[in-house]
Amino acid sequence: MFADFSAVTANQWTIILSIVGVCFAFSAWCILDAWKRTYESTNEKVLWMQLCIFVPILGSVAYLFIGRKRGSSRS
């Protein structure tokens, strides 16, 4: 029923954890960037943050290409 994790080598664990870490860091960066930006409405800011939290990779990529352009950077 469960996978046998003892068959995974140390190099494979390193690769897996590196990929997970990069994905987590990318999502965290998008959430923090959305937090720092000013949007026309607070609801739009919350929507982008929730999208990055609940759909991490796809939401973060969407924020990078669409949401980041919609908000303005605080001075």
**How high is the pLDDT of residue 73?**
82
Contacts 24+ apart (CB under 8 A), 49-55: 52/27, 53/27
30-54 tens-digit pLDDT: 999 999 999 999 999 999 999 999 9
**In the chain, what percentage of residues exceed pLDDT 70?**
96
**How high is the pLDDT of residue 1?**
56
The answer to whether the predicted template modeling score (pTM) of the entire model surpasses 0.85 is no
Domain ranges of the chain: 27-75
**How high is the pLDDT of residue 8?**
84
Quote the CA–CA distance of 14 and 10 in Å, as a whole number.
6
